[in-house]
Amino acid sequence: MHITHSYLGITRGTFRCLFFLLVEDYIEVQSAFMRELDPALERFARNMKTSGVLVRSFSGDIESTKLHVLEKPWTDAQRGEILNTPGLLMIDVDFDNFDPREHRWLHLSFGSRMHGEAPRADRFAHALGGLAEAVCDAQTDVFVAASALIHEVRFADAAELFTAKSRIFGFSIDLIKGGQLLRELYQRTVLRKRI
């Protein structure tokens, strides 16, 4: 896990994916939730080993790093998804070069802005574990695995899990609803490749 004052200049290097933590520090419920989620995020970062990295800002730099993300050329709908915090933005290019119109991206939401009651943080540990496994498997394209989930689960379930928009390179997943399905999809993909 990298902790930084700025998301600018973060390079992919040998990592397959970069995960940027997006939070709001002024929403107390969200801050409390993130404190509970920290152990699961640390395990996620550790389990990715050299395949991926979780990048988060120092607490005093949350607003400036959020602006770095928001300054990218998002559509209004995409910006709305990115503002659905807390969440993780996954990309596979250097941050400075990232353009959501040209590059693949994935926003994993931990829930809406949490003005009310936050979900229990332990509900996300399983989903983050499955995501770390997918990132570490060099034969699995995490973006493809998530996209395939839309086509493999029933439409009603997929509509609840994803917000997918045509002619956009990214989409958003609600980790509360999607964790188990993401793990099952990963396992199915691995089994198919072994057959």
Q: For residues 39 and 129, what is the distance between their CA atoms, to the nearest angstrom?
A: 12
Average pLDDT taken over every residue of the chain:
76
Q: For residues 180 and 43, what is the distance between their CA atoms, to the nearest angstrom?
A: 17
Residues 63-104 pLDDT 10s: 899 999 999 999 999 998 888 888 889 999 999 999 999 999
Predicted TM-score (pTM) of this structure: 0.72
Q: Are 111 and 34 in contact (CB under 8 A)?
A: no
Domain ranges in the chain are 2-194
Confidence of residue 192 (pLDDT cuts 50, 70, 90): very low
Highest mean pLDDT among 103-107, 111-115, 168-172: 103-107
Residues 140-170 pLDDT 10s: 888 776 555 334 333 334 444 444 444 445 5
